[in-house]
Amino acid sequence: MKKAILALEDGSYFIGYSFGAEGETSGEVVFNTSMTGYQEILTDPSYKGQIVVMTYTQIGNYGVNPEDIESEKVQVNGFVIKELSPIYSNWRAKNSLEEYLKENKVVGIWGIDTRALVKRIREKGALRGVISTVEEDPVKLVEKAKSVPDISNLDLVEKVATREVYYWKEGDWDLVKGYVYKENDRPLIMVVDYGVKRNILRRLTQEGARVVVVPPYEVEEKIEKIKPDALFLSNGPGDPQRVVEGIRLVRKYMEKLPIMGICLGHQIIGLALGGKTYKLKFGHHGGNHPVKDLRDGHIEITAQNHNFAIDPDTLKDVDITHINLLDETLEGFKHKYLPIYCVQYHPEASPGPHDSKGIFKEFIELSGARS
């Protein structure tokens, strides 16, 4: 087994074993608390620029397949796990996790104390790091980690967004047929792609919407040409304050079309309404975050993946609809007078939890009523 080293900007380092591609990679190191769904995590565009640490101990035991992907390729900069399963077993699996990372040229490290690593991130906040299978001097790697660009200074949306307009017709998964294709008519929802997850598109389609996906640039021209019934702002990576065109887009159309946002889309809407965002200490990444719906008091367990949040005290003319019960951060709001609704978490989560998927139906009904 080939040695690999993970070095952090604070001077600490971890020695383990290489898996996936060999070489060197860098990024902001964050941890994810989900027990399953590593393939969806790997292919989530919101993780662009980051090295992901899985807190669950054994990863890779069910392999990978071509269906459970959230984008066309692996998006993470690197992958860190405690134990790499020596075998994989699942009726849908096509190859191993290690083979998958090799194919996608992603560097991984396993066999390190991930509990100690996660504790360090919780105490100090997200840290810049380097994984290397070629440099054996950890001191040199620590220096490299210190020079990794801050994620707030990178235009990561440009790296993951689509370049073309396309229509999406794929709905939920059927055990016999696979993903079911649906020919919906109205409402027509335009999804602005800042790094959209495919399961968002599937949920919109499954609930009855016709879905068209557009690049995040020159959206106004596409709106005038396609004439959608509503706008949907997707998730995506990086600092929302860098998505200036998205903020302008919301301000121009917020009195003309219903608008919904998830994750980065939620933050863009908040900024457009005059709110301010801030970076969380170590972000929310996982599938077990309790969120309270303030409208009726019920609790939902949600999947989350974000580094930034909106300061609710800076928002005006909105009703706060959801809060995170772990740290009381803002998780959702509605505009008091306009058809604008957004959530910070991921109601479309695949493989789950699915407590919040009804949010898509709410938005589609709102959009259909105005089409």
Q: Where in the sequence numbering do the catalytic residues fall?
A: 263, 346, 348
CA atoms within 13 A on the CB side of 239: 14
Output DSSP code: residue 150: P
Q: Please, which residues have CB within 8 angstroms of residue 65's CB and are 6 or more apart in sequence?
A: 39, 90, 92, 93, 94
| Token pair for 8 | 């952090």
Q: Please, which residues have CB within 8 angstroms of residue 361's CB and are 6 or more apart in sequence?
A: 207
CB neighbours of residue 92 within 10 Å? 12
Residue 29 in contact with residue 127, Cβ under 8 Å?
Answer: yes
| Token pair for 148 | 């990794």
In 188-240 the beta strands, taken as DSSP E runs, fall at 188-192, 210-214, 230-233
CB neighbours of residue 137 within 10 Å? 12
- The Cα 245–Cα 251 span in angstroms is 10
DSSP bridge pairs for 19:
108
Q: Please, which residues have CB within 8 angstroms of residue 210's CB and are 6 or more apart in sequence?
A: 167, 184, 185, 186, 187, 188, 189
Report the residue count for the chain: 371
- The Cα 342–Cα 42 span in angstroms is 25
